[in-house]
Amino acid sequence: MNKVIIVTIAGGSGSGKTTLANKLLEIFKYENITRIKLDDYYKRRDELTYLERSKINYDHPDSLDFDFFYNQIKSLSTGNKIEKPVYDFKVHNRSDKIETILPADIIILEGILVLQDERIRDLSDIKIYVDTDADIRFIRRLKRDVRERGRTLESVIDQYLKTVRPMHELYVENTKKYADIIVSSEKDYTSSLNIIESKIREILKS
């Protein structure tokens, strides 16, 4: 089996992680590549009501099932398909859907806290942190959550002030030190993308 390349993309909510991941997917569209979002591994909370689930601090590492995430990524990286959970942001819970992910030569892992777990860092070949000004991240998050996740303006602002910002400062920002490459989404991605592409192709050739 060929070496599986794992590229990990971390950064605050609204920093531009998905945009960067999409660019890499486009660059390597002729390769066997897949993407896994850490968001899908929020813990299942069937025992709680919608109101109770809406009050959970989803920006704290304890809200995520890192053991399940690690085990699935480890299995995928060793050539096994996985049955990945699918998270539904509109109901603050995992949905009943399961997505089958087949083995790939390049695996992109994306999430605000994806560099928090040492086991995931050890699996990763290239660790990236997308660094973006807090005001820009908040505006992007506000637009996304209202448009795509059915949230109200008030709920997004309240969540940002109570959990998103303090947890970013406490947990997310701290993982920047583990990154091999720090990308600014406020600048042209070209030079950073060239570096990342070169590193991936170098590993592919080896």
Whether the per-residue pLDDT at 63 is higher than 90: the answer is: yes
Mean pLDDT across the stretch 10-20? 91
Tell me the torsion sign for CA atoms 166, 16, 109, 54.
positive
* % residues pLDDT > 90 (the chain): 71
What pLDDT was estimated at residue 148?
81
pLDDT tens column, 136-184: 888 888 888 888 887 888 888 888 888 889 899 999 999 999 999 999 8
Do residues 52 and 6 touch, judged by C-beta distance below 8 A? no
Q: Does this model's pTM top 0.85?
A: yes
* % residues pLDDT > 70 (the chain): 98
Q: Coil, strand, or helix at residue 100? A: strand
Q: Give the C-alpha separation, 112 to 148, whole Å.
A: 18
- Find, among 155, 170, 150, 124, the residue nearest to 12 by Cα: 170
Whether the per-residue pLDDT at 188 is higher than 90: the answer is: no
Helix ranges restricted to H, 45-152: 50-54, 66-77, 118-123, 134-148
Q: CATH number for 5-205: choose from 3.40.50.300, 3.90.1150.10, 1.10.357.10, 1.10.1050.10.
A: 3.40.50.300
